[in-house]
């Protein structure tokens, strides 16, 4: 769905409203608390080093055609390389890698929260407070290095994902009978659509998208996202137990995030002279094709460049000293 949303160039207000919250909910669901040094080293290997790799790759990807056409914007593009040092994803077009940096910051902040207090209610309050602060920062059109503004805004979704895993809520919801599950999915879908539309009208925005600092009314945004998360977690939980393909793409989601916008750029460059790239059929078809090609990129990353794509540790994880 992330690939499809990128193919649609962010024109789907409904998809933009829940994709990033859903992403961080799942991230919280699979998060494992570790010693701070171990966590930092692990996330360096899994997120920061791949962020730097895909940033440089994307930067070169967009630079080459500019050089071939002697584009006047080359000097500006060359200056974008410095953004990598502050965790800014502006590399020429591959904005999806912002999720690498935001995920790193979320994990580190959340680990600090858990270290400060073991009380669930206090953790929830702290995450909500950070969410409100992040939203206020976004409304001021401010950006903070290492995607701190985005990390604060999505912290509550990350926390809820961790709580869902801790209390084993997903299987409990998903094991309901079909007579209850199907109406629940319909209610969740309708509620997401209705609340998102309400948020857009009340806030005067065309779509809600955390990564672009657009949330509108934070309370409505959060409620709509939670409705969508409930529906998609039920679907994914049931499908995940039956589909090897879904599990495979889930295990290698970072590679798809890092490469899919580059692949979509290539496809768009080829197809724009032959078809309407804004049509639903093209966007859906190219999303499927890119997902297929992604299987090849996953193989290459895993077998030829594992250290820079998160499949093998470049930095050694520090061992805890024996007490």
In a domain, 311, yes or no: no
* Phi, psi angle pair for 109, to nearest 5°: -65, -45
In a domain, 310, yes or no: no
> Any idea what DSSP says for residue 209?
B
pLDDT of residue 132: 87
In a domain, 319, yes or no: no
pLDDT tens figures, 69-107:
887 788 889 999 999 999 988 898 888 899 999 999 999
In a domain, 317, yes or no: no
Q: How confident is the model at residue 320 (pLDDT cuts 50, 70, 90)?
A: very low
Closest residue by Cα to residue 111 from 167, 211, 38: 38
Domain tally for the chain?
A: 1
Q: How many angstroms separate the Cα of 148 from the Cα of each of 138, 195, 221, 303?
A: 11, 27, 19, 33
What is the token pair recorded at 187? 């209610």
Q: What percent of the chain has pLDDT over 70?
A: 84
Residue 313 has pLDDT above 80, yes or no: yes
In a domain, 107, yes or no: yes
Residue 271 has pLDDT above 90, yes or no: no
> Any idea what DSSP says for residue 257?
H
pLDDT of residue 250: 67
Are the C-beta atoms of residues 199 and 221 closer than 8 Å to each other? Answer: yes
Q: How many angstroms separate the Cα of 105 from the Cα of each of 83, 96, 217, 218?
A: 16, 16, 24, 21
In a domain, 244, yes or no: yes
Which residue range forms the structural domain that includes residue 292?
2-167+177-304
In a domain, 321, yes or no: no
Are the C-beta atoms of residues 317 and 41 closer than 8 Å to each other? Answer: yes
pTM for this predicted structure:
0.88
Q: Which residues pair with 209 in a beta bridge?
A: 214
In a domain, 309, yes or no: no
pLDDT of residue 322: 41
The whole-angstrom separation of Cα 139 and Cα 136 is 5
Write the secondary structure of 210-233 as one string of H (helix), E (strand) and C (coil). HHHCECCCHHHHHHHHHHHHHHHH
């Amino acid at each position: 769905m992330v690939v499809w949303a990128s193919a649609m160039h962010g024109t789907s207000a409904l998809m933009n409203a829940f994709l990033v919250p859903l992403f961080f909910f799942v991230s919280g669901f699979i998060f494992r608390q570790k010693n701070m040094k171990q966590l930092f080293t692990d996330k360096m290997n899994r997120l920061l080093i791949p962020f730097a790799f895909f940033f440089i790759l994307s930067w070169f990807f967009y630079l080459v055609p500019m050089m071939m056409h002697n584009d006047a914007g080359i000097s500006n593009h060359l200056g974008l390389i410095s953004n990598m040092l502050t965790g800014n994803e502006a590399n020429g077009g591959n904005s999806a890698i912002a999720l690498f940096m935001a995920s790193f910051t979320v994990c580190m902040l959340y680990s600090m929260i858990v270290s400060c207090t073991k009380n669930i209610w206090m953790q929830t309050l702290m995450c909500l407070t950070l969410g409100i602060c992040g939203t206020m920062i976004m409304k001021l059109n401010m950006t903070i290095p290492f995607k701190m503004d985005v990390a604060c805004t999505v912290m509550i979704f990350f926390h809820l994902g961790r709580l869902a895993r801790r209390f084993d809520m997903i299987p409990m919801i998903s094991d309901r009978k079909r007579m209850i599950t199907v109406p629940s999915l319909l209610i969740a879908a309708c509620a997401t659509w209705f609340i998102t539309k309400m948020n857009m009208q009340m806030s005067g925005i065309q779509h809600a998208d955390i990564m672009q600092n657009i949330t509108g009314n934070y309370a409505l945004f959060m409620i709509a996202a939670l409705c969508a998360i409930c529906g998609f977690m039920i679907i994914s939980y049931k499908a995940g137990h039956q589909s090897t393909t879904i599990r495979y793409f889930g295990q290698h989601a970072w590679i798809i995030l890092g490469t899919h916008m580059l692949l979509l750029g290539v496809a768009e460059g080829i197809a724009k002279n032959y078809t309407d790239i804004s049509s639903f059929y093209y966007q859906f078809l190219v999303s499927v094709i890119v997902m297929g090609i992604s299987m090849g990129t996953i193989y290459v990353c895993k077998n030829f460049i594992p250290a820079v794509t998160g499949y093998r540790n470049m930095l050694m994880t520090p061992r805890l000293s024996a007490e």
